[in-house]
């Protein structure tokens, strides 16, 4: 075994040892040697490297340790000549960058690497999850410091260390060579967590530029996790393979899995939800309710088809099932099959569209520009008669949903009000806490999430109609933003009530909200009000609501388009529908989340009875609680057994990393994180300091310090609505769509936002201090790291 040491000594120790990689020759020396023998060292550099350009690198004692890397702390200078003056000046600059005068600090001189075509940094363990992955960030610009400087638009590759042979064949040859060398370095140093800088030249030679310990905050506790994860991945591989087959009663020859295509689990419960959160989301929405709603609204009957599947605890949407549910029920079976296969093909061609599939791929409703957009089907073998059948079916579905007076959305609007009345009856009853949980869940499904799903469908159609009126020239972009700004949502009301109501009155009305709707560990507003709101601050009034009015010419254009398209609403009916259904969607979400929040509060209380912490209860499955309603099993035994099982599963989930889109079985072992196209809201521009707010680590200092800053949050969960009570400059979310709650909210308040930027860009921004967010130009630029 060779021990890791300073940058220079570590590289010297492996020079000539690696089978398929090169370590560049070096001249290295301590600071005290330089002070005593600078001329001799300069002469040695000249003899070693001739007239070639060199790089003068720092190699301080406090760099590359097991506790801190101090990467980039000290100076390194490139393209330095080997003449005495150039070398002396460069070495002195590097030494001057050291914070201390430790005489054992070193300077490392190596030849400049030429003809670089690919360079990067590789970790031999996922630093975020401690999973057994090679995590490789690389750049193809040719600059050897592109990744470490943070200036590149790098690619991010994950390769599971123990991938089967059939997967290795699909890995890029250079990455396969690198993985072999990383494995070799792990054996040489007998350390599983290494941080390695590398480069390839145009001849395909691999160069190792640095090896140091990968500094980890957490340590892996379960020594058997590696073997178990290997088994779990084998099961996932097999499951995906089986699910690619044709299925009865389901259109489409195969399937795809995505974290954001429908009902957005990555946004709503996160990519690694704990067992309680994912089981609640399934019970309330993705097992059955979602399909009942689509069927009720005139789409294909997908009842009994779960929308969400989990792979080792990571939630994914079965895209084939989702795409089936957007096909009108009246469409003939053969054409439905053809249409679903088209949708799947388009997503395979453009996986980046997975979080915008209903905007960019699927035709789920009639819009003013549908006749133009649907022409793309002719390129995929659809004839005019088939296209007409699809258009006619979509028109029928849209008319049935959107009619202002008698549309299907109206019934759901009425049903959600029943839920409000039934809440007090259940909570105020003499039922046991377990029975109350059962009935709150049942009521929430029937009178909460089901009608909410309908109103959300109506709101999606409303936004599509509005955007299509812009693309057809009826409204301008400014008109669109003005309309969104004119909405009066529950969120707008909450912001006003924060200053108009007493503290207790405000909490009585809004106290059930929490940043993580399905997360029991996330405090409610009324549990930690000072965490979310500054009660001493002056009024942060909403941006002035400007009334939206159509001009006479716009009225005529709408009237003409409605008649031409065969849509049943008149102009005022359409505008009233669009406004009402968007506002009602937000209100219905506010109403049904009170049921969920009370369920979580009761579960906390039940946990206390059995000596369990809130964190313990986050590992329970909600189904284990629900079954206690109709059995005589011992509640303590069932609950503790469920928690124990949940913790075992969560240990695996925490170390798994899978891609946001899974197209083939092999993707689970080796994949590149895609660049995601953000949804920019408003046309504003802002430059400000960034601050991140996370549901599991909200601090009072962070909450107080968000005013005037660009706020970073992982998801667009409505529980984060409290941020709008502060004068934030803008916000950026990792997950979320153009039609999400926070996107609607940004439009209302005219706050520049980027919703759903993806993991790569989000992580780049969170490592920065000052960022420019320009929604009009659709850019996010890091100004200070």
- Residues labelled as active-site residues: 741
Instruction: Kindly tell me the sign of the dihedral angle through the C-alpha atoms of 70, 74, 79, 83.
Output: negative
> Which residue has 């290795």 as its token pair?
168
What is residue 19's DSSP assignment? S
Contact 324, 250 (CB under 8 A): yes
In 3-state terms, what secondary structure has residue 759? Answer: helix
Residue 781 to residue 768: CA distance in whole angstroms: 10
Q: How far apart are CA 157 and CA 175, in angstroms?
A: 9
Check if the beta carbon of residue 387 is closer than 8 Å to that of residue 378.
yes
Distance (Å) of CA 574 to CA 410, 458, 481: 14, 12, 17
* Residue 153 CB coordination number (10 Å): 12
Distance CA 196, CA 173 (A): 18
Answer whether 261's CB lies under 8 Å from 708's CB. Answer: no
- Going from the C-alpha of 743 to that of each of 440, 463, 597, 740, 750, the distances in angstroms are 29, 12, 23, 5, 10
Beta bridge partners of 732: 712, 754
CA dist 101 and 105 (Å) reads 8
Closest C-alpha to 184, from 6, 16, 8: 16
CA dist 168 and 175 (Å) reads: 10
Which of 178, 103, 191 lies closest to 138 in space, CA to CA? 178
Alpha-carbon gap, residue 460 to 700, rounded angstroms: 36
Are 263 and 308 spatial neighbours (Cβ–Cβ below 8 Å)? Answer: yes
* Sheet containing 779-784: order of strands: 679-681, 753-755, 730-733, 710-713, 685-692, 770-774, 779-784
β pairing state of 679-681 and 133-139: unpaired
Helices and strands: H and E segment counts in the chain: 30, 21
550 HSE (CA, 13 A, CB side): 18
Rounded to whole angstroms, the Cα distance separating 210 from 202 reads 20
- Backbone angle region of 151, left / alpha / beta, with phi > 0 → left and psi within -120 to 50 → alpha: alpha
Cβ–Cβ < 8 Å for 537, 727: no
Q: Which residue has the tokens 């990067």?
A: 120
Give, as one character, the DSSP assignment of residue 151: -
Interatomic CA distance for residues 316 and 308, integer angstroms: 6
- How far from chain centre, in Å, is Cα 263? 13
Query: Among positive and negative, which fits the CA dihedral 183, 189, 192, 193?
Result: negative
- Helical H segments across 127-252, by residue range: 146-149, 165-168, 173-189, 225-243
Of the candidates 649, 706, 317, the residue with the CA atom closest to the CA atom of residue 515: 706
* Spatial contact of 11 and 25, defined as CB atoms under 8 Å apart: no
Helical spans, DSSP H, in 519-634: 529-532, 552-565, 571-609, 614-617, 622-627
* CA–CA separation, 746 and 718 (whole Å): 12
Question: If residue 492 lies in a helix (H) or strand (E), which one and from where to where?
Answer: helix 490-500
For 195, list phi and psi in degrees, rounded to 5. -120, 115
The neighbour count for residue 197, using CB atoms within 10 Å, is 20
């Amino acid at each position: 075994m060779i021990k890791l040491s300073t940058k220079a000594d570590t590289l010297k120790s492996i020079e000539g040892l690696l089978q398929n990689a090169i370590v560049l020759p070096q001249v290295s020396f301590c600071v005290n040697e330089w002070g005593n023998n600078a001329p001799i060292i300069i002469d040695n550099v000249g003899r070693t490297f001739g007239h070639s350009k060199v790089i003068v690198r720092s190699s301080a004692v406090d760099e590359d340790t097991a506790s801190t890397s101090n990467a980039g702390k000290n100076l390194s200078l490139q393209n330095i000549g080997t003449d005495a003056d150039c070398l002396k000046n460069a070495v002195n600059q590097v030494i001057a960058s050291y914070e201390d005068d430790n005489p054992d600090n070193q300077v490392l001189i190596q030849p400049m690497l030429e003809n670089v075509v690919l360079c990067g940094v590789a970790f031999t363990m996922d630093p975020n999850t401690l999973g057994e992955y090679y995590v490789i960030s690389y750049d193809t610009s040719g600059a050897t410091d592109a990744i470490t400087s943070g200036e590149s638009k790098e690619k991010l590759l994950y390769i599971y260390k123990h991938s089967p042979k059939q997967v290795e064949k699909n890995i890029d040859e250079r990455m396969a060579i690198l993985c072999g060398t990383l494995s070799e370095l792990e054996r040489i140093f007998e350390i599983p967590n290494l941080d390695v800088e590398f480069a390839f030249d145009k001849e395909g030679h691999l160069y190792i530029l640095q090896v140091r310990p990968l500094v980890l905050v957490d340590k892996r506790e379960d020594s058997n996790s590696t073997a178990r994860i290997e088994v779990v991945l084998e099961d996932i591989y097999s499951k995906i393979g089986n699910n690619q087959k044709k299925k009865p009663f389901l259109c489409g020859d195969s399937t795809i899995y995505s974290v954001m295509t429908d009902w957005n689990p990555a946004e709503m419960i996160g990519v690694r939800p704990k067992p309680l959160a994912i089981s609640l989301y399934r019970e309330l929405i993705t097992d059955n309710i979602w399909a009942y709603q689509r069927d009720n609204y005139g789409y294909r009957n997908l009842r009994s088809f779960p929308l969400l599947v989990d792979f080792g605890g990571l939630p994914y949407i079965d895209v084939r099932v989702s795409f089936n549910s957007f096909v009108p029920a009246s469409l003939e079976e053969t054409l439905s099959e053809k249409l679903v296969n088209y949708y799947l093909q388009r997503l395979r061609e453009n996986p980046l569209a997975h979080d915008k599939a209903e905007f960019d791929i699927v035709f789920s409703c009639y819009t003013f520009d549908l006749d133009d957009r649907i022409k793309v089907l002719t390129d995929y073998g659809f004839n005019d008669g088939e296209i007409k059948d699809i258009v006619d079916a979509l028109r029928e579905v849209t008319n049935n949903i959107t009619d202002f007076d008698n549309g299907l959305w109206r019934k759901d609007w009425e049903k959600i009000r029943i839920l409000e009345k039934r809440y007090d009856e259940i909570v105020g009853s003499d039922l046991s806490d377990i029975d109350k949980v059962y009935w709150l869940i049942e009521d929430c499904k029937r009178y909460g999430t089901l009608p909410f799903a309908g109103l959300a469908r109506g709101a999606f159609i409303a936004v599509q109609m509005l955007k299509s009126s812009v693309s057809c020239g009826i409204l301008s972009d400014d008109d669109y933003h003005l309309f969104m700004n004119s909405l009066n949502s529950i969120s707008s009301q909450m912001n006003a009530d924060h200053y108009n109501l007493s503290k207790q009155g405000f909490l009585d009305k809004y106290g059930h909200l929490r940043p993580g709707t399905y997360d029991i560990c996330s405090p409610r507003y009324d549990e930690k009000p000072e965490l979310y709101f500054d009660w001493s601050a002056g009024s942060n009034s909403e941006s002035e609501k400007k009334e939206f009015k159509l001009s006479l010419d716009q009225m005529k254009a709408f009237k003409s388009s409605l008649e031409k398209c065969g849509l049943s609403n008149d102009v005022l009916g359409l505008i009233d529908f669009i406004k009402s259904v968007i506002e009602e969607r937000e209100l219905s979400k506010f109403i049904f989340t009170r049921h969920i929040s009370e369920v979580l509060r009761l579960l906390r209380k039940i946990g206390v009875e059995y000596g369990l912490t809130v964190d313990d209860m986050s590992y329970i499955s909600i189904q284990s609680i629900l079954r206690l309603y109709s059995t005589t099993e011992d509640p303590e035994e069932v609950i503790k057994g469920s928690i124990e099982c949940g913790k075992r599963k969560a240990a695996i989930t925490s170390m798994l990393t899978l891609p946001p889109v899974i197209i083939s079985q092999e993707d689970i072992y080796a994949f590149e994180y895609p660049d995601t196209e953000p949804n920019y809201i408003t046309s504003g521009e802002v430059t400000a300091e960034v601050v991140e707010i996370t549901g599991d680590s909200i601090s009072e200092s962070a909450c107080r310090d968000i005013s005037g800053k660009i706020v970073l949050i992982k998801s667009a969960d409505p529980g984060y609505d409290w941020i709008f009570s502060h004068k934030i400059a803008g916000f950026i979310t990792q997950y979320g769509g153009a039609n999400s709650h926070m996107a609607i909210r940004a439009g209302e308040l005219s706050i520049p936002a980027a919703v759903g930027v993806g993991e790569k860009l989000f992580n780049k921004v969170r490592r920065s201090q000052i960022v420019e967010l320009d929604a009009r130009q659709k850019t996010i630029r890091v100004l200070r790291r």
